[in-house]
Structure 1
Amino acid sequence: MSVFHGAEGANDDGADGTYGNEQTGRSERTFAALPPARGGGFARTWWGQAWLKALEDTALDSAQLKLGRRHARAGAVGAVSVRPGRITAVVQDRDRTAHRSDVLLQELGAADWDRFLDMVADRAGHIAALLDRDMPPQLVEDAAAAGVELLPGIGDLEPSCGCEAWDHCAHTAALCYQMARLLDQDPFVLLLLRGRGEEALLGELQARSAARAQAYAPDQDDEGTATSGGAPGAEAGVPAAEAFAAQEGLPPLPPPPPPVSEAGAAPALGGGTPPAPGVDVPALEFLIGDTAERARRLLAEALSTWHADAPPVSGPTPAEDLVRLAAAGPPAPVAERLATASGRDARGLAAAVRAWRQGGPAGLAVLEEEWNPGPEALARATTGLAAAWADEGDRPRFRVTRNRWTVVGSDAQLRLGRDGGWWPYRKEQGRWLPSGPPDEDPAAALASLLAEERT
């Protein structure tokens, strides 16, 4: 834990120095270089994993992310300086070339901090969690309900590196992976990055909590006897459930908009005034049409009977969205640009589109990911395979490589998804390609593939 009342403090392992301004509450903490990470993930806590998701959903070059992970795992990230709006470290390449790397995150404004501090001060459990170096999901959800986003999202982590890369490079990626380890240890590091040091934040919380306690404390007469004072109207309060049931003073909701059966046609932009240099008219027309169709689908979901009970679904990552756009059937020049941006050749993009049409983001992940099922997942898979073919003599022989079961002597393969579904794959022109939607029954997933081979 950091020392609150000194110009310089240290955490439990002596790796943290804290410097600040008592009047503004702005401070800087410097963490000594962490030792190399041997195996396992970089983040154990859910908020550390959310930080890494913001990085991985933002970066366009997965190869740079992989190299950044190797840098961080090898201990190539030096001391990390954390201050409002910025983290900084020197990261070394394998050849010992050093690069100053910064990652920027927008600070919260004064109004955001007021809402956040009021929300936390009203909930003793949130204060206790922060003091215990914990950030429960309910705290982040309550902050979001108050209009304050604590955790970064897509595009919020802005890179700046001495190697002059325009996107996240291996150096800024390594810094972010190292930062996840620091966030695991202390969520106050995230709050400092958002603009408030630990000492100033706890001081404000203490002041607000004391003010609330005083406001709701009963008044006392000259002899110290409690009177009927206190917060105005406290005795005449109405339970929240009754207030909402009565709907007193609440205007009725407007009627929902009518459903839209199909998206409107995109306007033709090719005639009239010539476009400005660099404006791709067919691409722009395609994006307008795609946006209209997505809006129609979002409206249909919002009007559905199950919408209120369905958890929110995050949108596709930039890499996934490239494939989604390609699956929408763009003009050939636009498809070529999408293939180039995705780092795939024409065949690779066609395979990705095929996987997307079979299962969206999950289908694309099965195409591109190769992972080792854990003991529980492997046991369930083995049990499912045994149950699918009651007669062991009818069961095909498989060659197992990680999450892929290839039928021996055949161009058929089953891939186990992370959700436990079995995805059928067929080798076509030397490449494994998805051949249908997933099925919980491996035999059903494989049946159509083997039937095609027999015919």
Structure 2
Amino acid sequence: MNNWRGFPRPAKPIRVEGGIRARSRRGEIARTWWSRRFIEVLESFGMGGRLARGKNYARAGQVRSLTVSTSVVVGLVQGSRPEPYRVRIGIKAFTAAEWERIERALAGRALYAAKLLAGEMPTDLENVFAELGLRLFPNTMRQLTMDCSCPDWEIPCKHLAAACYLLAESFDEDPFQILAWRGRGRDELLDRLRALRGTVTGPDAGEPEDAPTLPESPEVFWTTGERPAAPVIPDSEPTAADAVLDELDDLPIDIGGTRVTDLLRPAYRAMRRS
């Protein structure tokens, strides 16, 4: 039968060879807190049923391609028609001035900067954006722009939902994709943080750039190092044995017309030779 209870039977999607498949085969797709946060935001918009159909599309490999760039995600999703549908998910990128504020806030916190430079996403990164009056993730549908070339007039359709799930998985693989979507690529952000960490000061700024580094080998660390050379004392003229007599005040004593200090000199010289 071509009809089911008076309605046309939904056509099955054309199977795709080599499509992008979700890694998760059942249950939740997102694994990390940031990708789960993205899916939670989408599901809070009342997309549950369509997201479920989109999840099936994502697991079946119906998405042919998905590209993330500043402000927009573009994908091709294979439906029941020969020509794949083109989907777009847009979000407003932060301005250059906003990114400057974000980067300075991140650079000013040693733990945040260290995690990002290590390729990790700090668990409370959203708080940094919130303190600046910004939102890392959208909180209303008005902050997202979605469209699909399919005939379904409802947004999001299952094709857009499939792209959203795979987008969440791409955030699992590389959290910097979220920031790139908002207008700052990984390399540019890390270069800016490194530069700012060299100038930021304060109790949370971490060690200065010229701080001494520990030796790579632990054996070297626990040694005393090279003994410093003994100081070199320049040679001087030898001191006469009776020179101390010259430091004394002249004694007003004469013996047989000779000063007593002169009489003592032979005795001092004799003691030095002995």
Q: Give the superposition deviation at 1:54.
A: 1.8
Cα distance in structure 1, aligned partners of 2:62 and 2:72: 19
Aligned Cα root-mean-square deviation (Å):
2.5
Corresponding letter in the other structure for 2:175? P
Task: State the match for 2:88 in structure 1.
Answer: 102
The corresponding residue for 1:200 is 188
**Secondary structure in 2 aligned to 1:137?**
coil
* Of 19, 34, 37, the match for 1:47: 34
Which runs of 5 or more structure 1 residues have no equivalent in the other structure?
A: 1-31, 219-455
Q: Conserved in 2, the CA contact under 8 Å of 1:55 and 1:173?
A: no
Could you tell me how far apart the structure 2 residues matched to 1:146 and 1:110 are? Answer: 14
Give the whole-Å Cα distance in 2 for the aligned partners of 1:207 and 1:99.
43
Amino acid at match of 1:180: A
**What letter corresponds to residue 157 of structure 1 in structure 2?**
L
Q: Which blocks of at least 5 consecutive residues in structure 2 are unaligned?
A: 1-18, 209-274
Inter-partner Cα distance in structure 2 for 1:168 and 1:196: 26
Deviation per CA, 1:362-411, whole angstroms, max 9, x where unpaired? xxxxxxxxxxxxxxxxxxxxxxxxxxxxxxxxxxxxxxxxxxxxxxxxxx
Change (3 A) 1:70 1:38: same
Paired residue type of 1:186: D
Structure 1 residue 170 displacement after superposition: 0.6
Question: Aligned ranges for residues 33-432 of structure 1 at < 5 Å?
Answer: 33-34=20-21, 37-59=24-46, 62-94=48-80, 97-155=83-141, 156-164=143-151, 165-212=153-200
Whole-Å separation in 1 of the counterparts to 2:88 and 2:80: 19
**1:139 positional shift:** 2.0
Shift of 1:34: 4.0
2-structure distance, mates of 1:192, 1:34: 22
Q: 1:150 Cα deviation (Å)?
A: 1.0
- Describe the shift of the 1:36–1:139 C-alpha distance in structure 2 as closer, same or farther (beyond 3 A): closer
Indicate if the aligned counterparts of 1:133 and 1:185 stay in contact, CA closer than 8 A.
no
Amino acid at match of 2:97: A
Q: Which residue identity lines up with residue 144 of structure 2 in the other structure?
A: L
1:82 aligned counterpart, secondary structure: strand
Code of the aligned partner of 2:124: Q
Tell me the equivalent position of 2:252.
none
Alignment check: 8 A CA contact 2:89 2:146 kept: yes
Indicate conservation of the 8 Å contact 1:82/1:88, yes or no: yes
AA of the residue aligned to 2:164: C
Q: Is the radius of gyration larger for structure 1 or structure 2?
A: 2
| Aligned residues of 2:54 and 2:161 also touching (Cα < 8 A) | yes
Shift of 1:77: 1.2
Structure-2 separation of matches of 1:116 and 1:136: 14
Question: Relative to 1, partners in 2 of residues 1:57 and 1:97: Cα closer, same or farther, differing over 3 Å?
Answer: farther
Secondary structure of 1:102's counterpart equals strand
User: Which digits, 9 at most, give the CA deviation of each residue in 1:227-246, with x for residues without a partner?
Assistant: xxxxxxxxxxxxxxxxxxxx
For residues 56 and 74 of structure 1, the distance between their equivalents in structure 2, rounded to whole angstroms, comes to: 21
Q: Which SS does the other structure have where 1:78 is aligned?
A: strand
State the alpha-carbon separation in 2 of the partners of residues 181 and 37 from structure 1.
9
Higher RCO, 1 vs 2 (CA within 8 Å, ≥6 residues apart):
2
Deviation at 1:95, TM superposition (A): 5.6
SS of the residue aligned with 2:44?
Answer: helix
Letter in structure 2 aligned against 1:160: D
- For 2:29 and 2:116, the matched residues in 1 are separated by 21
Tell me, yes or no, if the aligned pair for 1:99 and 1:163 is still in contact at 8 Å: yes
Q: Give aligned-pair identity as a percent.
A: 33
Q: Which digits, 9 at most, give the CA deviation of each residue in 1:323-366, with x for residues without a partner?
A: xxxxxxxxxxxxxxxxxxxxxxxxxxxxxxxxxxxxxxxxxxxx
Aligned equivalents of 1:97, 1:58: Cα separation in 2: 29
Matched length: 185
- Once the two structures are TM-superposed, the CA of residue 69 in structure 1 deviates from its matched residue by 1.0
Shift of 1:53: 1.5
**CA distance in 2 between partners of 1:206 and 1:100 (Å):** 38
Quote the offset at 1:87 in angstroms: 0.4
Question: What one-letter code is carried by the residue in structure 2 that aligns with 1:147?
Answer: G
Secondary structure of 1:134's aligned partner: coil
Residue aligned with 1:211, SS: coil
After the TM superposition, list the runs of 4 or more consecutive aligned residues in structure 1 that deviate by more than 6 angstroms: none
